[in-house]
Amino acid sequence: MTTQDRLTKKFLQLVEIDGPSGHERDVADFLSGELNRLGLEVREDQAGEAFGGTAGNLIARKKGTISDAPSILFCAHMDTIQPTRGIRTVITNGTIATDQSTILGADDRAGLAIILETLELLEHRNIPHGPIEVVFTVGEEIGMWGSKHLQVSELVSRTGFVFDSSAPPGAIIVEAPGSIAFEIRVVGKAAHAAVSPEKGINAIQVASRAVADLPLGRFGDTGTINVGIIQGGKAINIVPDEVILKGEVRSPIESELQEKIAYIEDQFVRQAKNAGAHVEFKSNRKYNGFRLGDHEAVVQLAMNAVTTAGLQPSTIRYAGGSDANILNEKGIQTVNLGVGFSNVHSSLESIAIEHLVTLSNIGVQLTQMALNHRKD
């Protein structure tokens, strides 16, 4: 079986296993079998318990054929943003999609398939390599729960590669933003909207004025401000006395995150004070951002692997978070690699089989480039 045939079959097997966030049990069982078949030592942690999931992270280790080479980490996530139960895949001109009744789940079943194929190639072709650790995480799509609860002290690798980006093959993500979520409760005063509206304080109006003053959208390369949820009001004939808004700020720069969060709170407090209302403001950090320079060892290793695989490498700034954010925060210097899936999180999602093959080749090359960092 060729790499392309094996990869296509494996990817299709993976997307046919329903495993949305928190329900990764069947995916984990399938992957455990595959990793065991390939001779890796596999264990499962308790990360799923942190958010009521059915499975934990899978952590596997492949012994190196060269003992003095450094260990590297490959990572992808098991969950999909939506169910894929009943999926019907369609292959057209070398691209895998669905009949649009479900998502494809290439985010991130593609990453899982690529890592498995990389391991297959190393085994079948007897390619020399150093130690390899594999982490398949749970709950990534709902806040990187798996990587947040990963015990990195039990890992040897301090260099990592995540396969989880819609950027094209050859792209190396060296910057991604951190995220702070916020929730704002604006409290006004209820009144009959027809009989005595002047006695009320319209919380929706206060919130609307504040939102109108916010610089929503993108700032810088990867910074964003968004208000995504607004809930309020009880009836059309009552001046609404409460509205709740939820949103987030993203930036790779900590000072920017704090500045934008403070600005948002100030705008709501100012508008509420002007109207005689009051505001309750809460925020919580979802994850930290990261920035890596082109001179960093992990970036150089990735660039060399991409070049050797026949592509032109490019380092990019990416607005989405991933397990790479958490791994960097925990001390494992990690880049996220462009896999090339398209229209993720929608029924139009697709991926080219060629991209799967290319990334598997890059995976093999990463193990080879790591050999250049052997101890003297």
User: Residue 72 and residue 123: Cα distance in Å, rounded?
Assistant: 17
Catalytic residue among 79, 133, 164, 241: 79
Instruction: Give residue 130's region: left, alpha or beta (phi > 0; psi -120 to 50).
Output: beta
Active site residue 294: no
3-176+290-373 topology per CATH:
Aminopeptidase (3.40.630)
Q: Kindly write down the DSSP assignment for every residue of 206-272, as one continuous string.
A: HHHHHHHTS--EEETTTEEEEEEEEEE-S-TTEE--EEEEEEEEEESSHHHHHHHHHHHHHHHHHHH
| Dihedral over Cα of 78, 80, 85, 90: its sign | negative
Q: What 8-state DSSP symbol labels residue 52?
A: T
Q: Looking at the chain, list the stretches that DSSP marks H as alpha helix, in order from N- to C-terminal side.
A: 3-15, 25-37, 106-124, 145-148, 203-212, 254-275, 297-308, 323-329, 353-370
Among 60, 63, 64, CA closest to 41: 60
The domain locations on the chain are 3-176+290-373, 178-287
140 carries an active-site annotation: yes
Mark the ranges of the chain whose per-residue pLDDT is less than 50.
376
Distance between CA 323 and CA 336 in Å, rounded? 8
Domain 178-287, architecture per CATH: 2-Layer Sandwich (3.30)
Tally Cβ neighbours within 10 Å of residue 238. Answer: 15
DSSP structural state of residue 159: E
Please give the pLDDT value at position 372.
84
Out of 45, 107, 117, 140, pick the active-site residue: 140
The pLDDT score that the predictor gives to residue 205 is: 97
pTM of the model: 0.90
pLDDT score of 375:
56
In this predicted model, what pLDDT tens digit does every residue of 283-302 receive, in sequence order? 999 999 999 999 999 999 99
Helix (H/G/I), strand (E/B), else coil: 308? helix
CA–CA gap between residue 15 and residue 5 (Å, rounded) = 16
Q: Name the strand (E) or helix (H) holding 286.
A: strand 278-287
Among candidate residues 102, 94, 175, 105, the one with its CA nearest the CA of residue 140: 105
Contact 146, 76 (CB under 8 A): no
How confident is the model at residue 67, as a pLDDT? 80
**CB-based contact 38:119 (threshold 8 Å):** yes
If we measure between CA atoms, which residue out of 63, 32, 103 comes closest to residue 343? 103
For 173, the 3-state DSSP assignment is strand
Residue 290 burial (C-beta neighbours within 10 Å; 0-12, 13-18, 19+): buried
pLDDT for res 376: 44
